[in-house]
Amino acid sequence: MQSFPVTIPPLVENNRQEDCLHVFLIHNPVAIIMARMMVDAYRIPLNSVRAIGIRNTNTEMTGFHELHLSVGRYDRYVNRITGRNLAAWKLRREILDNYSHYIIYASWAYSEVEELLASRRNLGLIFFEEGQQSYYQSPPYRAGFFNSWLFRRSKILRGSIAHYFRGDADAFVGLTPEAFPLMPKERRYVLSNLDSMARNYSPRLKGVSAIGLMPAPRRLARTEIFPAIDRLIDVMQGQGVIKMHPGFLSERFYVPAQFAQYIAERSGGRVGLCPDDVLLEMEMFLEKKQLYGARSSLSRYADLMGSTFIPVTFENYIAPII
């Protein structure tokens, strides 16, 4: 992996004092890695850092203290009707009760991000790489009422890629120079200190070379999930592990023990279910792997880290628009 000199964004450089909180919103494994890399590379004091797990993401591997989103029974309905995120609103009040200022770090501007930005005591926003979306030809959007979450949500659901990244963000941080291609070059930063994350990560798949990747649950009908697992077992020639997409963690039907039993029975015990908290990007950094799956950001990271990605087609797979 190519190495790049560390350049610290001015927003971070000027606000590493203890009364400024650095808040990382984390919703997938790449975000866990990026958050830890940024804190280490930019020398942000750990006692000034907090993690917020989105979509049931376990943030323990970051080593940061966690802030919890308390989602109410009717919050999602309020969000759909008004665009407001009440859980993030409550969390923002909690932050302001304890800190003079804060900075938000996120992969894109979803509703929790927008709500946390809505304070004069927020000093700024930094976007970081979180997967394939960070490499889209997405132009920045101008913050304002008609580009608030209330309006952006429907545009994104219709396939727009022009409503992910606010143009007034202070920095865009990636793993390669190709990340955030349409953002201003003077605000783009590259990190290469994966070794700092490796020091805090214990590999779980040492000696396991074949890894099957299940597509996101939104890409398959419920009736196609187990046939997709069968397809992976077949192309993997009955060896290795199958990693479920992080999106399964939000699905009530996903019971890991039941999926593990199914995989074991269908493979004669030769294929296992990969633990959900395994970071495949770190596993590849520490040992070359062979990945099997539909198009994914992991194909980019496999190439970056010297591993192999083998494309797999799935019956009735709903491909991304991009």
CB of 91 closer than 8 Å to CB of 104: no
Other Cβ atoms closer than 10 A to 310: 14
Digit-coded pLDDT (tens) for 204-225: 999 999 999 999 999 999 999 9
Of the candidates 170, 198, 226, which is a domain's last residue?
A: 198
CB of 82 closer than 8 Å to CB of 105: no
- The residues pairing with 67 across neighbouring beta strands, listed in sequence order, are 52
Residues 59 and 168 occupy one common structural domain:
yes
Digit-coded pLDDT (tens) for 127-159: 999 988 999 999 999 999 999 999 999 999 899
Residues 47 and 179 occupy one common structural domain:
yes
Residue with the bigger pLDDT between 1 and 278: it is 278
User: Residues with Cβ < 8 Å from 34, sequence gap 6 or more?
Assistant: 128, 129, 130, 173, 175, 191
The confidence score (pLDDT) of residue 277 equals 87
Domain membership of residue 106 (yes or no) is yes
CB of 19 closer than 8 Å to CB of 98: no
Domain membership of residue 2 (yes or no) is no
Residues 114 and 183 occupy one common structural domain:
yes
Of the candidates 198, 232, 261, which is a domain's last residue?
A: 198
Q: Is the pLDDT of residue 107 over 70?
A: yes
Domain membership of residue 92 (yes or no) is yes
pTM: 0.90
- What's the token pair of residue 120? 């004069």
Q: Can you give the residue range of the structural domain that contains 290?
A: 210-311
Digit-coded pLDDT (tens) for 62-103: 999 999 998 888 998 999 999 999 999 999 999 999 999 999
Of the candidates 150, 176, 198, which is a domain's last residue?
A: 198
The confidence score (pLDDT) of residue 321 equals 63
